[in-house]
A and B are shown apart, each in its own frame.
Chain A
Amino acid sequence: AQTVTQSQPEMSVQEAETVTLSCTYDTSESDYYLFWYKQPPSRQMILVIRQEAYKQQNATENRFSVNFQKAAKSFSLKISDSQLGDAAMYFCAYRSGKGNQFYFGTGTSLTVIP
């Protein structure tokens, strides 16, 4: 089975600064998608950004961008100009091209310091 690893249980960033959250995954597949989800204290899971494995260009959504390194099986999330509302648990997720299964990392808790 595929595994998703988030090696940073907790991270903190000063408001307006930039932070990068790490994610690595293990797979033998060539066709898959990667996602970052945000889970604020309300516990709602919110999609932040997604990346197609076949695309070399890194996905960007406003202040959120990814650094996708397919050969290294790395998928980090960069949050620029951090805001207080960015404080949440962030989950990296892998979606298999076979079986439609999702695999989630254990999450990184992000604190934004005013």
Chain B
Amino acid sequence: DSGVTQTPKHLITATGQRVTLRCSPRSGDLSVYWYQQSLDQGLQFLIHYYNGEERAKGNILERFSAQQFPDLHSELNLSSLELGDSALYFCASSVGAGELGETQYFGPGTRLLVL
């Protein structure tokens, strides 16, 4: 158990809908990262937040948004969902601002299925 929690574990929804995925980092960690793992594209970095501020953006669609709250938990919002958004969404956390050698600890993931 990494200490990173993600809810819900599974989510089934329909195209066009909006969902929110939640992540609580390890105690003491200030950074949260979001990743998407789909069958055809592997693991893709989406976005990184540090202490409430966005620090880096990866391949995140405009339909997706994220934020990190003062208590350091983070939410990933996915809107206008498409079939291709079906994937496993991981959250990871690290203690600092994402310095080069910092270890990221991954949560168990949220499996999203868009029908």
Using a CB–CB distance below 8 Å, which chain A residues touch chain B?
31-33, 37, 42-47, 50, 52, 91, 93, 95, 97, 99-107
What number of A-B contacts does a CB cutoff of 8 Å give? 54
Does any Cβ of A come within 8 Å of B42's Cβ? yes
Q: Quick check: A44 and B2 within 8 Å, CB to CB?
A: yes
Main SS of the interface on chain B?
Answer: strand
Given contacts A101-B45, A102-B33, contact A47 B56 (CB under 8 A): no
Q: Quick check: B2 and A101 within 8 Å, CB to CB?
A: no
Q: Which residues of chain B are within 8 angstroms of A101 by Cβ–Cβ distance?
A: 45, 48, 56, 58
Q: Quick check: B56 and A100 within 8 Å, CB to CB?
A: yes
Query: Which of A42, A44, A93 has the largest count of B CB atoms less than 10 A from its CB?
Result: A44
- Using CB atoms, name the residue of chain B closest to A4: B42
- Using CB atoms, name the residue of chain A closest to B90: A45
CB of A72 to closest CB in B, whole Å: 21
A105 to B43, CA, bound (A): 8
Interface footprint category on B: 20 to 34
Using a CB–CB distance below 8 Å, which chain B residues touch chain A?
2, 33, 35, 42-45, 48, 55-56, 58, 88, 90, 92, 98, 100-101, 103-106, 108-109
A37 to B43, CA, bound (A): 11
- Using CB atoms, name the residue of chain A closest to B55: A100
**Contact with A95, one of B90, B100, B109 (Cβ below 8 angstroms):** B100
Q: Quick check: A97 and B42 within 8 Å, CB to CB?
A: no
Given contacts A100-B55, A102-B33, contact A91 B43 (CB under 8 A): yes
Q: Quick check: A44 and B106 within 8 Å, CB to CB?
A: yes
Q: Quick check: B101 and A99 within 8 Å, CB to CB?
A: no
Q: Which residues of chain B are within 8 angstroms of A44 by Cβ–Cβ distance?
A: 2, 106, 108-109
